[in-house]
């Protein structure tokens, strides 16, 4: 069953008419079909209810994404806390380090801090052969 249509007459500039003719010729669609589509798009943009619905859908997707980021952040803090507790427990049982051990530890610490700073600045991570580190990097 064909929808009932009403004829409307439009007066277009030569430039706009030419553009519609070129689009119609390029797509194989009727000019009236293109004009209806353009008018519907314009009217839908001006319809605040439809715009609010679209915005609501985008906000819902954004909220879901934000919640996933929060879960990941919570997991990261938990992992960090567990690692720190482990290190403190392990270090408390060791004898005090000598100067050479302290210097080596400081160099390692500075390398980690430099890599973290680079990553926060948006630089790519260094290449690794450690399979565990490669797996962790594959999560994001």
Give 103's pLDDT tier (boundaries 50, 70, 90). very high
Give 1's pLDDT tier (boundaries 50, 70, 90). low
Confirm whether 20 is domain-assigned. yes
Together in a domain, 86 and 58 = yes
- Chain CA centroid to CA 62, Å: 10
Q: Give the pLDDT confidence score for residue 64 in this predicted structure.
A: 93
CA angle 117/120/126 to nearest 5° reads: 70
Q: What's the rounded mean pLDDT across residues 96-104?
A: 90
C-beta of residue 132 within 8 angstroms of C-beta of residue 124? no
Q: What's the structural domain count of the chain?
A: 3
Residue with tokens 């943009």: 45
pTM (2 d.p.): 0.43
C-beta of residue 42 within 8 angstroms of C-beta of residue 35? no
Whole-Å CA distances, 16 to 9, 21, 26, 39, 95: 15, 9, 15, 14, 84
Q: Give the pLDDT confidence score for residue 89 in this predicted structure.
A: 86
* φ/ψ (deg, to 5) at 98: -85, 180
Does residue 140 register a pLDDT over 70?
no
Q: What is the helix (H) or strand (E) element at residue 125, kind and residue range?
A: none
Confirm whether 138 is domain-assigned. no
Confirm whether 3 is domain-assigned. no
pLDDT in tens, 46-87: 777 766 777 888 899 999 999 989 888 888 888 888 898 889
pLDDT in tens, 8-36: 888 999 999 999 999 999 999 999 999 99
Together in a domain, 60 and 85 = yes
Confirm whether 32 is domain-assigned. yes
C-alpha atoms less than 13 angstroms from C-alpha of 56 in its C-beta half-sphere: 6
Together in a domain, 110 and 82 = no
Q: Give the pLDDT confidence score for residue 120 in this predicted structure.
A: 84
Confirm whether 134 is domain-assigned. no
Together in a domain, 87 and 107 = no
Confirm whether 76 is domain-assigned. yes
Q: Give the pLDDT confidence score for residue 10 in this predicted structure.
A: 86
- Residues 66 and 69: their CA atoms lie apart, in Å, by 5
Give which of 36, 10, 34 is closest to 24, Cα–Cα: 34
Confirm whether 21 is domain-assigned. yes
Domain that residue 20 falls in: 14-45
Together in a domain, 38 and 67 = no
Together in a domain, 102 and 81 = no
Q: What's the rounded mean pLDDT across residues 88-109?
A: 88
Q: What's the rounded mean pLDDT across residues 105-117?
A: 90
């Amino acid at each position: 069953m064909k929808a009932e249509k009403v004829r409307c007459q439009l007066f277009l500039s030569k430039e706009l008419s030419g553009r519609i003719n070129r689009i119609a010729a390029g797509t194989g669609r009727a000019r009236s079909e293109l004009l209806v589509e353009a008018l519907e798009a314009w009217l839908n943009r001006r319809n605040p209810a439809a715009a609010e619905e679209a915005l609501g859908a985008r906000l819902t997707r954004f909220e879901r994404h934000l919640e996933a980021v929060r879960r990941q952040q919570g997991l990261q803090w938990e992992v960090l806390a567990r690692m720190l507790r482990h290190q403190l427990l392990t270090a408390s049982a060791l004898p005090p380090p000598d100067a050479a051990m302290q210097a080596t530890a400081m160099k390692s610490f500075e390398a980690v801090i430099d890599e973290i700073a680079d990553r926060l600045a948006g630089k790519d991570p260094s290449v690794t052969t450690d399979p565990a580190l490669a797996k962790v990097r594959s999560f994001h």
